[in-house]
Amino acid sequence: MHRLTLFALSTAVLAGFSHVAQAQDKLTVYTYESFTAEWGPGPKVKEAFEATCACEVDFVSVADGVALLNRLRLEGGRTDADIVLGLDTNLTAEAKDSGFFAPHGLSTDAIDIPGGWSDDTFIPFDYGYFAVIYDTDAIENPPTSMHDFLKGREGMIAIQDPRTSTPGLGLMLWIRKIYGDLASEAYEELQKRVLTVTPGWSESYALFTSGEVPMVLSYTTSPAYHMIAEGTDRYQAAEFSEGHYMQIEVAGMTTKGADNPLAAQFLEFMMSPAFQDVIPETNWMLPAAATSEPLDPVFDKMVHPEKSLLFTPEEVAENREAWVEEWLEVMSR
């Protein structure tokens, strides 16, 4: 009896949490959680787009890119999303196979990323490079190549688990791209350099900034945050001569979104300066198309890899499981 009242009460109270937006023109965007945070790109993007369309943008956020695809799978195709924003190219092949996405039918000439872009379903909104970030207070001779880093003895690194984290997967693919079938020997060397492997980026980065470990796997743009938001250049990215592995973040239109004219309009808007201007200093990634003004000079100080490394989405989809297993086998020894 009491329990029933409680349930009724809690349901009633909590139903108040949910906003039932019934606007006529509504665009539902699924994205990852740090995109919609108050300091993230979400609020500004929403404002800018709503100014052009007289519509309402509704963000639904989940933990990360992987969770995004998962969400669609759990929904079994009957999704609320018109746009899914935040997958990366390691997931796009599987996302395409799922049949949840519709071709965008837009020209992607505006997209300007290393290696170019052509895909009929997904459009990039930003990109970045993975990098070893080091603490200049603790590391005197930062590594200058992956080889140098793996063989090096100065300081340890915190990395992420490719089974649970996108950057973790990125490092694995990076090594795989450089060493090919010799990757397992490289992992053996890597293992000696690793202090710990965390489930996600946050844990390892927190270990790094708390001084526990002098190196961490992150992005070339990470130092920009510390320079702009904290005014310190203590943390730097190490440039590797073999090149850096890329992460390209994309958005796509769902089959439901194909019926909503706002969806294509949003993707078009995503390639425009109004959207791209927001990216660098909110998402701390590099814009995938022209911005209206040059980026903060701090971004010029970042590492600009001479060579960008990337597997095609199909290669990743085909080999990911086997490669992760190989990584696991060596790293578990």
Contact code string over 120-159 relative to other proteins, x by CB under 8 A: ------------------------------------x---
The window from 115-123, 178-186, 198-206, 246-254 that contacts other proteins (CB under 8 A) reads: 198-206
**3-state class (DSSP) for residue 299:** helix
Length, in residues, of the chain: 333
**C-alpha distances in Å from residue 13, one per residue of 5, 7, 16:** 12, 10, 6
Compute how many residues bind other proteins; rule: CB under 8 A.
69
Query: Using the rule CB under 8 A, which residue among 22, 78, 140, 322 binds other proteins?
Result: 78
Contact code string over 209-238 relative to other proteins, x by CB under 8 A: xxxxx--------x--xx--x---------
**C-alpha distances in Å from residue 226, one per residue of 99, 220, 281:** 40, 12, 11
Is the distance from CB of 238 to CB of 87 less than 8 angstroms? no
- Residue 5 touches other proteins, criterion: CB under 8 A: no
Residue 203, token pair as written in the block: 């844990």
Distance, in Å, from the CA atom of 238 to the CA atom of 246, rounded to the nearest integer, reads: 15
Distance, in Å, from the CA atom of 89 to the CA atom of 91, rounded to the nearest integer, reads: 5
- Residue 24 touches other proteins, criterion: CB under 8 A: no
Distance, in Å, from the CA atom of 264 to the CA atom of 269, rounded to the nearest integer, reads: 9
Q: How far is the CB of 294 from other proteins (least distance, A)?
A: 23
- The DSSP call for residue 289 is B
- Residue (17 or 297) nearer to other proteins, CB: 17
Q: How far is the CB of 55 from other proteins (least distance, A)?
A: 18
Positions that interact with other proteins (CB under 8 A): 2-3, 6, 10-11, 13-15, 17-20, 30, 33-34, 36-40, 59-63, 66-67, 69-71, 73-76, 78, 156, 161, 163-164, 191, 194-203, 205-207, 209-213, 222, 225-226, 229, 284, 321, 325, 328, 331-333
